[in-house]
Each structure stands twice: as structure tokens, then as C-alpha cells.
Amino acid sequence: MKYLKITGEAKLEGKVEISGAKNAALPLLAAALLIKGKCTLTNLPLVSDIKTMLRLLENLGATYELKGHSVTIDSSNVFNTKALYDIVRKMRASILVLGSLLSRFKSCEVSLPGGCAIGQRPIDLHLKALEKMGAKIELVDGYVRASGELIEANIHFDKISVGATENTILAAVYAKGITTIINAAQEPEIVNLCEFLIKAGVKIEGVGTSKLTIYGAKELKTDFTCEIIPDRIEAGTYLCAAAITNSNVEICKINPEHLGALLNKFDEMGIVYELGKDYVRIKSANNIKAANIKTSEYPGFPTDMQAQFMALCLMADAESIIDERLFENRFMHVSELNRMGANITLNNHIASVKPSKLQGTHVMATDLRASSALILAALVAKGTTYVHRIYHLERGYENLYEKLSNIGAKIEVLEEAE
């Protein structure tokens, strides 16, 4: 098993190119099952979650050709509509094939995705929406067994859910009539999914708003190309790396419009940056001010950036307060940061983060974003930090170690002793 050795107090400088968004690519790969032919996705991030989803598509009968960061998927000969536990258990986003398979084939079995390190993420909203569209849902031996011809419905989500919105959109593609989703998630990744389906010939109204209207289609176009949006969470992570080390670093190949909540927080914290059409450059962060952060659905502050900003807040001039509203277990990085000398206290879903001088030590990554927070802390810690269980990082960050090394981070990838 690999681990990282990071020597702290390094100054960073240079440019980081951002990869495609994992959280946009996964629903697009699921959507490819709706295409009775070929479609191509560009700007594909080559991370382990993507490889898992491609394996699932292959298991269902689709074929694909991967060329660099572009993949062409052919779903014309999909023969299997059972998504096996052995694959689905490795990644929760696999549940998104449920909407596609049910919409196209009128029946499917998809393994329940199981637990998640950062908290409970039930799929009850997904299933209720499908039932309202006419599906018969049974839970049998750990699988969701869904069947029936889907029809138009008005879906009103009690709470905002990205996954449930995506699954309902996918299910509505071949449904008879018009499906309306109220209180839909508005993330850029949802917009990217709608763009893909519009290219395929689906009529969708309200893209980017909380009310989506999807007109069921009889046939979809084939042989089209859709570009995956830049990863706003990866971009935010490298922006935090530049800020926490007070370094001049340009983060490029991004969509700054997707980073509004993060850049607003940088303004509040006194971090000086230059904003371009497709880049942000950190210019100065030598006097970071304390911040109050509350996570919420897009366009609010993303929960996927909470851990990274917690590391950044350790460099602030006063106590910061972080209120995590979306996941009940998303503070597992706190104990590891405290091992490095951080002064962070928890009270239920609120973390109090006091300015701290960090010291390198051995720490354990617990989930994807917690892992990146530990790396950020290691960049400014005195001495050497060893980050273990870095397989979490490889789920969502493409070439993280190389990208950091290229801008001056002293980082090595080593193998654990047997």
C-alpha cells in the first residue's frame, strides 16, 4: 500500500491545469447507457472511480475505446441489466445506472451501494421518484429490483439531492410524457448532464434552475461528443494549496463561474487573487483572516471543500467557525489534523478552528476530501508528514502528486513495508 512523504514549509510557484470533473463524468457515463449506439466524452479524468464505472458499463455489455482523456462508449449491444454488488460496492455513483437501465429496458437490478465513510447517504429519494413515475420497486437480497414502463410525473423532492436529481433525469429520458422535478439540485454537474442529453435530442427546460422539465423521447441521437466540465473541487483544492503556502500559483483550465462561493470566501479572508476567463491566480495570502463557513447545496459553499478550508483556517489570524450541514460524519479529518498540532474542537456539526502551528507526523486519510486536507496541512507543517491510505485520493484527483511536485511541493510516493 502506498503512502506519501511530504516535507513541509515549501514555497510553491507555477501553473496547475485542472482535470475534468469526476462528479460530472460519472453521471455522463451512466447516461451513455441510454444511447443505442456510440457517444464520446472528452476531458475525462483518469481516476479510479472512472475506471470502476467503465468496468461496470463493460459488465453490462457496453464497449468503450479510451484514447488519452477521451472515451467513446458503444451501448448498442447492452445485454445485461444487473449491476453487481462486487462493482457497485466500490463506488456509490454506480447507483446512477438505475435510472438509465430502467428507462431504456423497463427492468433492472442494481445492488444497493452500501455505507459511506462521511455519513448516511440513503437512496430513498431516488426510489420514491421512480415509484411516482410508475416503477415497481422491490428490495431483494441487497438489490433494488425495478420494473415497469415509466410515465410522466411531477416529482417534488423534500430535500435537495444531487444523486436523486440525476437518477430522475436519466429515468425521465424514455418515460412517456413530461416529467417535472421541483427542488432539483442545481450543481454544474447536473447542468453538464442536461447538456449531454440535449445533444442526444432530449428536450429539457429549466437547466441550471431548481425546476427541471424533461420531455420523454422515443429515440436518441448517436455519434455526438460532449465535453466534461472542469473539476471545481480539484480547482478549489489547489487554490487552497497556493493560499495556505502564500504562493503565487495559477490554477487554469477552469470555469471561474463554478467557484463563486469559494472566491467569495477568499475575499472575506483577505486572500488576493487575479481572475481570468479560465484561470485564477493566487497573488497574496500573507495575512489570512478568520472565516465563518456553512456548507450548503450549490450555489452555496460546497461540503467537498469543507476539509480543505479547515486546513486553510489554521493559518488565519483568529478563530474560524465551520458549520457542516450536509453530512454527519464529515469531520473525521479533525483528529488527524489535531495530531499535527491543530487546535480544533467539535460540537456536533460545528467545528471551532483556532490558529495553529503544525508539526509533521504520521496521519491517516479517511476519505477523499479529508485526504487532501491532510496534504494541505503537510505543505505548511514543520518537518515531515507521512500520509497513509492515500488510495482515497486516487478516487478523485488525477496526478495529484505530480501536479504538486511540478509547482515545488516536496512530496514522495512510497510503499508501506510488509
The reported pLDDT for the residue numbered 162 is 96
pLDDT in 10s for each residue of the chain, 418 residues: 899 999 999 899 999 999 999 999 999 999 999 999 999 999 999 999 999 999 999 999 999 999 999 999 999 999 999 999 888 888 888 999 999 999 999 999 999 875 434 334 478 999 999 999 999 999 999 899 999 999 999 999 999 999 999 999 999 999 999 999 999 999 999 999 999 999 999 999 999 999 999 999 999 999 999 999 999 999 999 999 999 999 999 999 999 999 999 999 999 999 999 999 999 999 999 999 999 999 999 999 999 999 999 999 999 999 999 999 886 667 889 999 999 999 999 999 999 999 999 999 999 988 887 899 999 999 999 999 999 999 888 888 999 999 999 999 999 999 988 6
The Cα 308–Cα 280 span in angstroms is: 17
Residue 25 near residue 64, CB atoms below 8 Å: no
The reported pLDDT for the residue numbered 328 is 63
The burial class, CB within 10 Å (0-12 / 13-18 / 19+), for 381 is: buried
The reported pLDDT for the residue numbered 340 is 98
C-alpha dihedral over 104, 105, 108, 114, to 10 degrees? -10
* pTM confidence score: 0.96
Q: Is 226 a catalytic residue?
A: no
| Residue appearing with cell numbers 484514447 | 67
Residues forming beta bridges with residue 412, ordered by sequence position: 5
Cα-to-chain-centroid distance, residue 349: 21
The reported pLDDT for the residue numbered 351 is 95
Residue 293 near residue 320, CB atoms below 8 Å: yes
- Half-sphere exposure of 368 toward its Cβ, with a 13 Å CA cutoff? 19
Backbone angles phi, psi at 374, to 5 degrees: -65, -35
Please say whether the dihedral angle defined by the alpha carbons of residues 49, 245, 281 and 297, taken in this order, is positive or negative. Answer: positive
The Cα 51–Cα 25 span in angstroms is: 11
The reported pLDDT for the residue numbered 284 is 93
- Half-sphere exposure of 258 toward its Cβ, with a 13 Å CA cutoff? 24
The reported pLDDT for the residue numbered 120 is 45
Backbone angles phi, psi at 347, to 5 degrees: -140, 95
The catalytic position among 39, 108, 116, 226 is 116
The reported pLDDT for the residue numbered 204 is 98
CA angle 185, 276, 237 (to 5 degrees): 55
The reported pLDDT for the residue numbered 246 is 98
The Cα 78–Cα 193 span in angstroms is: 21
Query: Which secondary-structure segment (H or E) carries 172?
Result: helix 162-172
